[in-house]
Structures are given as C-alpha cells and as structure tokens.
Amino acid sequence: MVAQVDPRDLRPGQMVDGWRIVRKIGAGTYGVVYEVEKDGQRFALKVACHREQSGDPRQTDARARREAVCLGKLDHRHIIRMWAQGRCGDPRSGFLYVVLDLVDGYTLGEWVRRTYPTVHEVVVLFRKLFDALEHMHARGVFHRDLSLRNIMVTKEGEPVIIDFGAADYAAAEELTDAPLPPCTPRNRSPEAQRFWNENRLNPEARYPFKATDDIFALGADLYDVLTDPTPQSSKVRPPLGDAVPPPSPFKVTQGRVPEVLSSYALMLIHDKPEGRPATAKDARSPLEEFAQFEGPEWRSTRVHPVAAQLPPAPAEIAPGQVEVPPVPIPSHPSAVPGAGAGALNRLRRGWLRPAFVAPLVLVVLAAAVAAFVLQRPAHPAPPPVARSARADQPPTPSPLAEKPTSRPAQLASPLPTQEKASPSVKQPDNSPTLTSGVPNPQKASPRRVLSKAERCALLVASVAWIKAGCSGVQTRPDPEDCPEEAVRAMKEMGWSTQGGTQPFILVDVTKGSVEEAREQNRTVWKDGPVTGALIRAEGKAPAGTRLDGHLWTTGDRIYGRYLRAHLSGGRTVPICVELTDGGDLGMDKREGSKPGAPVGSKVSSSHAVERWR
C-alpha cells in the first residue's frame, strides 16, 4: 500500500500487508473497519486514523497500541479475537492496524428488532455477556463503552463484545484528555456523571473508572433491550444515570417482563455503586437462576409485541395515481445549486406560486381583522347578572389565554461586555435587554385587558401568520471592531485574523465532552453566557483551552462570540472568535428546533476576527 493513501479511503482490491480490501464496514471515533480477505478467509481489519474531531493526532498511535494490548490479554468466545497487528505503509509514518474476527450478525439493538427475542433468550444472552465481562475484569481490562452498538449478536444468537478503542488496562498510560473517558452518555454511571458535574471546568481532573461502571453500562443495555422495542432507532435518550430514576421494565412492558427480572435490571443501574453487584460474577449469578425457569412467561413470552417492532406500513396509492416523491427543502441556500443571493431570492419567489395565493390572502385578511378589532376603543363590560345555570346547559368555556403577540418580544442584549461574560450557562437575572420600541418601560401605561372576541381574532391571526412561514425577529449582535487588546493577544498566541485561524470548538463544555458530541452531536441551546473549548491546539493555545462567550438563539440562526481565553498557568486573555458554519456566520438550526428551544450542533467551526460581523 502507498503510504500517502488515506486509510479512510481504501478501495476494494487494494492490499494492506497481504490483506485484500473487500469492502468498508464502517468508521468509529478512532478508526475505520474494512472486511478483508487472505488465503480464502474473511476477517475484519481495523485501521487507526486521526479525524479532525479526534483531538491530538499524536495520540492515534498510542490509542491503537493500547487497544491491541487489551485485545492481546483476552481470550473468550464472546469477545472479539485479534489475529494479527502491524503498520501499513511507511514504518514510521504509516497507520497501525489490527486484524479481527469478522462477526456476521447484528448489533444488539438490531437483534432486538429483527429477532423478536423471548424473555428467556434475553436472559441467556446477557448471562454470556456478563461471563465475558468477568473474564475481561479478571485480566485488568475495562471496556469503558459497552453500548448497544458495541455488542454484536451472530446469526446463531451468540453475543460478541467488539470495539476496544476506548478500553483501558491496569498500568496503561493515561490518554484521556478530558475528565471522563470516551463513552456513550446513555450508559454512563451516576458517579461518573457526578464527577463530570463537579470537574467539567477542570481539564486536569480524571475520573477513576471502576468495574461497577462497566456493570452499569451493561445493565443499561439490558434495560434498553427490555423496555425499547426498537432501540437502534432511538436517537435522543437521556442518560440513565440522571437523578430521575427510570420506570421499571415491568411497568413499561405492562407485565411482559417478569417482576423479578425487572427488579434485577433496575439493580444493575442503581444510582449508587454499592447498590449494584460488586463484580461481573455477582451480576451473572441471578441470570444463571433465571435461565432455569420454565414457565411460559419466560420461555414463550416475547419481550415486545411483534407489532411494536414492525415498521409503519407505506401509504396506499389510489389506482391510477402516480406517487410523486417530495422535493427536499434545503436547510440553507448554500445547499441549492448556484447558491448565494440569487438562490435565496429564487426560494423566496417560490412562495408566490398559485398554491400559496389563497392561504396568503387568508393570512392578510385575518391580520386586518385582528388589527381592526384591537384598535377599537374598549367599552366597560356590563356587570354580570346572576342567574342559575340550567342542568342541561354545558359550562361556559374559560377565556382563551392571552397570546404575547400584541407587541414584539424583548430581545437579548446585543453583546455582553468583557466583564459580564461568564462561564456559566445560566442567564443572569439582571441581564440587560432592549425594550423593543417601548421608550420608557418604567412609565409605560398598564396593558388593556383584551376581550374574548379580541383574543380570538388575535389567536387566528397569530396561527395564520405562523402557518404562512413568516420568520420571527432576527436577533444578532451588531457588527463592530474587536478591542485592540484582543487583537494583540491573538497575535501573541499565533492566531491569524485574516482567515488563517479557524478554531474547531466544543460550543459548551457543560453539554458534554468531545467524545459525547461524536455520539450525540445535537442539543437544545438558549441565549446567554457560554463556556466552550478548543478541540485541537491553535497556535500557542493547547487543545482543551476554555473560551468564555455568549450565544444568541432568537433569530433564524444561532450566533456565538467568544471573548476570553483561559490559558495554562491561570492567565486569561481577551479574544474575538465568532461561530461559523461552512463560512457563513452563525450555526444552522437543525431539525426539531422550536421557538425558544433551537436545536444545534455541539461542535462548530469558528473564525478569529478583528471585526465582529
């Protein structure tokens, strides 16, 4: 293999030290996996490589060597086996690889959906997994990411633990560059979550991973298998280590999961480590007993009804009707061929097609009616007349709640000062705001209470306006020059403000680590101060450098400015860094965004600037 070939782009037929590439299976945080062939046998070849989001590229070799050491210590039928290892390409600059078993089967989440397991089959499978975990811990190895995707089930129903890229062993060199090791947030233990909450702003803190953390993670997998009929499709789920205890599998499945197994699953994810089994062997013992039970609730009952695991039926098409595939609407004009102002104008003109004329006429009419009603002088309502309600008369419905559309909502401050920026994500109660056209809010006259008719008209107009797709008020800070001291500080750090320095940023360290962002890259944002971090080194600022700033989320994009950098040795310097997305200012709002709760990426590109745009 030629050394210059990127290991992420190997093609079928290429050779890696005698292993012929058959196809690409997938890519993970620290490597790419291919199916390979040699002497008529098929294997999996995992090549270690560095991605931009992976942090320090010098750690790539160290992580690959640690994974190989962990695999070399293990020999268990339910743990993936390593057959060979080496370095492809140049012996000094090439990429390390390991050759592994090729597992023909499904991930654990897919196995649940595609095989409709019985309670007994789930018990037997997890008994084997805890047996493999006991073997692993006896040799001083922690997997540290026992998630649904890192457990395979063969076509014969045998589980196999895979992907030791985040694994660790006794006396191994510390490679984690964050308080917590990489893992799936859903499967993180409560004690690890508490450690993160207490140390997320301390880049030197390191969590001491223990056997009970692996036990919790495997228990979280059991809980999801017992409670979710399609766990492989559940994209956003809160960590099971949160303060609120999850409902029991017995309750979730309406009794399909036996109570004793339900209680056992909750014990594995107990919020305190002393409430869980102390060892994997202790965790396996109850499963040995459950596997002997013969009743129909164990041997014949499927954990989930088959109907709950089937995909929805496709919509029927009437005879002679031609199904027209929907035209995708790009999330940003840059996604349209010939993007730019012209593309944006074409999108806007598309709204004026005949199909939209009637709805727009209704919108204008509703708005006019609402304006007419609201401008009428208010007459005092006559005193209520006491009368007894007839027995057959329904109660009078309560008035509609007043909608805050009679005047623009207050806007966030255009920009906090260097002194007001805070690493906390909580918006201060005394945060400055604009008054949205109200000249003197302290002396403003009290608002008139709207009548029932006025509120109805206002509600109709508001709903029509929203349905028409009209965007809200654009909220973003005003362009201005960056302070001279910030420009000098960035130059001292080796940052170029002419497009040369484009830091890749973890937008908010309180939303999780870089590893968690790879697992679940979206979150809900809100206006206010924020503390981010450099994902990779920039000039003299190392990876992990904390950046204090502010977010604005009210408009059609998410804008962010970072004002201070906390360097090593406790030194803090002013900076001017703004979030960007593909060269455009700010971040796109993603699917699932709602008013007041925009969804965006946890990581973003950015630019060091001399003038805020």
d(CA 606, CA 500): 11
Domain with CATH 1.10.510.10 in the chain: 110-309
Q: Which residues pair with 606 in a beta bridge?
A: 579
CATH number, domain 480-612 = 2.40.128
Residue 482: closest CA among 562, 558, 419, 378: 562
d(CA 108, CA 102): 16
Q: What is the 3-state secondary structure (H, E, C) of 114-162?
A: HHCCEHHHHHHHHHHHHHHHHHHHHCCEECCCCCHHHEEEECCCCEEEC
Task: Write down the residue that tokens 């390593």 correspond to.
Answer: 82
Architecture of domain 110-309: Orthogonal Bundle (1.10)
**Where in 294-405 does DSSP place strands (E)?**
none
CATH number, domain 1-102 = 3.30.200.20
d(CA 50, CA 65): 14
Q: Residue 421's CB: how many other CB atoms inside 10 A?
A: 21
- In the numeric block, which tokens belong to residue 504? 């890749």
Residue 27: closest CA among 2, 46, 3, 1: 46
Confidence at residue 527, expressed as pLDDT on a 0 to 100 scale = 85
Integer CA distances (angstroms), 611 to 42, 268, 483, 529, 555, in order: 57, 54, 9, 20, 21
Domain with CATH 3.30.200.20 in the chain: 1-102
Q: Given phi > 0 = left and psi -120 to 50 = alpha, else beta, which region is 240?
A: alpha
Residue type at position 19: W
- In the numeric block, which tokens belong to residue 401? 């709640």
d(CA 373, CA 369): 6
CA dihedral 97, 103, 107, 112 (to 10 degrees): -170
d(CA 430, CA 413): 11
Task: Kindly list the averaged pLDDT for each block of 10 residues, start to end, along the chain of length 613.
Answer: 63 90 82 91 88 56 88 95 89 86 93 94 98 96 93 95 85 65 86 86 84 95 94 72 82 94 96 93 96 94 83 54 42 36 38 44 52 48 42 40 36 39 37 35 47 54 45 65 91 84 85 75 86 87 88 88 85 91 84 86 90 88
Q: Which residues, in sequence order, are CB contacts of 357 under 8 Å at separation 6+?
A: none
Domain with CATH 2.40.128 in the chain: 480-612
Confidence at residue 103, expressed as pLDDT on a 0 to 100 scale = 93
Distance, CA of 584 to chain centre = 22
Residue type at position 455: R
CA dihedral 196, 202, 203, 209 (to 10 degrees): -40
Confidence at residue 264, expressed as pLDDT on a 0 to 100 scale = 97
Confidence at residue 90, expressed as pLDDT on a 0 to 100 scale = 78
